[in-house]
Amino acid sequence: AVASSSASMAGARVAARPSSRAGARVARTVVAAARPTWSPGVPVPSHLDGSLPGDYGFDPLGLGSTPESLAAFREAEVIHCRWAMLGTAGILATELGGFGNWFDAPKWAFTGEHATYLGVDLGPTTLFNTVAVQFVLMGGAEYFRSKEENAETRIYPGGGFDPLGWGKGADVEKLKKKEIANGRLAMVSILGYWAQQAATGMTPLAAWGAHVADPWHVNVATSNTVAIPYLHPESVGQAGGAFWQAALPVWYPGL
């Protein structure tokens, strides 16, 4: 009877193992399916477990495959996101306020004209002096920031850099996610501003105004003849030579 009971208990344990394993597989599947990724069905790298703000499993080149590189790229991305958001706001505010445009604003450094800031004349300022001041101010700030050994504190210092105290609230993780998402968008927008200026010679608000005024004839498919040449039939065939003769000097002045 004892042998029979032991055998039945062992059988119960053996029978229970497949069920528990199946349950674990189901649980893992549910967790994987519930996690948002940058593209549905794309395998997520093992080093991106979803614990970082804005982690959607995007690392096709494996740049963050080691803990050290992942921490370094994460810190660099957040810092660049903040600079890009400030730059985007400055570009739009300058043009919106009628103080010129972002592309022409720094030309004083090469022409010898007086520098201005929001319409205020700053007097003659040379490029060398500007670079020297920037080197001291930004280099000093980065020096003191790098002395902090805690990676989280280096990225989110709080204190005077959080005057509204948002970093102490219950929604801090949600705010971190919003910051990285808006920062990535800002970095893409900065790249777009550069490409737009090089291709069309128009600033962001000027291009937006032209598009709103005539959206069917002023858009990426009809007006941007340099950035997306394949959308234009005149860029190929017998007429292609004339098209490229007109397009290339826009990208490469003096060619």
Give the per-residue pLDDT at 81: 95
Helix (H) or strand (E) holding 81: helix 67-96
Say if pTM beats, i.e. exceeds, 0.85.
no
Write the DSSP symbol of residue 46: T
CA distance 81 to 79: 5
Give the per-residue pLDDT at 11: 45
CA distance 154 to 141: 11
DSSP string, 192-216: HHHHHHHHH---HHHHHHHHHHSTT
Least confident among 109-123, 146-160, 201-215, 223-237:
223-237
Q: Hey, which of 20-34, 47-61, 224-238 has the most confident mean pLDDT? A: 47-61
Least confident among 24-38, 100-114, 148-162:
24-38
Q: Which residue has the higher pLDDT, 239 or 35?
A: 35
**Average of pLDDT values for 26-54?**
74
Q: How confident is the model at residue 150 (pLDDT cuts 50, 70, 90)?
A: confident
* Residue among 97, 106, 104 at smallest CA distance from 134: 106
**Percent of the chain at pLDDT above 70?**
74
